[in-house]
């Protein structure tokens, strides 16, 4: 009980942005992350009994966006039977969509290039006995590359290809580079599920989203709805990206609302 109370208190304090510089300077953030890694806070979604866990301070940020703010509520369709989560944030989107649909048998794949995140996704799958959910390791990149440099950051929610990572105000980041394989989403999907459509693709990949229409067009052609977090530090033209998605048969729906000052816009693309 005391561990749960302390974990919740850590999350509450982390939401108070004025404390970020203060706790970084005192090393409190590092200590809090070590505590949560050793004693994760396990949450249970009452509608389905699905459980996910908080293992770092940054996980509270993603949890709030998905489960409290409900940023994906508007994109879900009742007939959705499958999804792919690209940039999987410890499986939180997967937990949300399974719970929101009340369907633990939904088919889905979580893809991430951060080994620590992938480990959490695998824990989530095994802990909840989800036979139709899979985890895959790798990143998407421009066509022709078999590997890419990936910045593995102390904050997993901003790990990214290259080094264009942006902290929240007052958050100190450390990162190291790793070579990771690139993935072909179409091949992964066919291997796991065969020739069926993908209901929703969610992509939150810290600046690599421009390569979706460039290198993953085959998979996009079998996808009905696409949610993309377009990051404002992206070096590629936003308008070119939108046009490329439209050329693949998508129309641009109203963007999902984001907090003032957010470093990304969230686009919803649906079939024309």
User: Given the structure tokens 């105000």, which residue do they identify?
Assistant: 169
Dihedral in degrees, nearest 10, Cα atoms 159, 120, 270, 64 = -80
Measured distance CA(12)–CA(117) in Å, rounded: 23
Judge whether 50 and 128 are in contact, CB under 8 Å: yes
Residue 14, domain member (yes or no): no
The 10s digit of each residue's pLDDT in 132-179 is 999 999 999 888 899 988 877 765 555 555 545 554 444 556 778 889
- Can you give the pTM of this predicted structure? 0.84
Residue 147, domain member (yes or no): yes
Mean pLDDT of the chain: 82
How would you classify the pairing of strands 147-153 and 175-181? Answer: antiparallel
The 10s digit of each residue's pLDDT in 206-221 is 778 888 998 999 999 9
Q: Among 98, 4, 107, which Cα is nearest to 51's? A: 98
Structural domain total, the chain: 1
Residue 152, domain member (yes or no): yes
Residue 153, domain member (yes or no): yes
Residue 7, domain member (yes or no): no
Provide the domain limits for residue 123.
70-271
CATH number of the structural domain spanning residue 84: 3.40.50.150
The 10s digit of each residue's pLDDT in 31-40 is 888 899 899 9
Residue 60, domain member (yes or no): no
């Amino acid at each position: 009980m005391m561990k749960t109370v302390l974990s919740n208190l850590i999350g509450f304090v982390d939401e108070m942005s004025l404390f970020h510089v203060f706790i970084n300077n005192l090393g409190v953030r590092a200590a809090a992350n070590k505590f949560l890694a050793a004693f994760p806070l396990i949450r249970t979604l009452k509608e389905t009994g699905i459980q996910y866990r908080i293992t770092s301070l940054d996980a509270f940020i993603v949890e709030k966006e998905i489960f409290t703010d409900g940023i994906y509520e508007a994109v879900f369709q009742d007939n959705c039977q499958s999804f792919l989560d690209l940039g999987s944030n410890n499986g939180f989107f997967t937990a949300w969509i399974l719970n929101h649909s009340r369907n633990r048998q939904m088919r889905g794949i979580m893809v991430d290039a951060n080994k620590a995140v992938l480990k959490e996704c695998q824990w989530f799958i095994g802990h909840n006995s989800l036979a139709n959910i899979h985890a895959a390791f790798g990143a998407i990149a421009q066509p022709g590359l078999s590997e890419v440099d990936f910045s593995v950051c102390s904050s997993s929610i901003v790990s990214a290809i290259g080094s264009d990572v942006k902290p929240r105000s007052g958050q100190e980041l450390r990162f190291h580079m790793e070579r990771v394989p690139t993935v072909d989403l179409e091949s992964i999907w066919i291997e796991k599920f065969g020739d069926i459509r993908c209901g929703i693709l969610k992509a939150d990949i810290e600046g690599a989203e421009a390569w979706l229409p460039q290198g993953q067009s085959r998979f996009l052609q079998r996808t009905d709805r696409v949610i993309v977090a377009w990051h404002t530090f992206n070096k590629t033209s936003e308008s070119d990206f939108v046009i490329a998605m439209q050329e693949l048969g998508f129309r641009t729906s109203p963007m999902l609302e984001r907090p003032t000052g957010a470093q990304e816009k969230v686009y919803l693309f649906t079939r024309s």
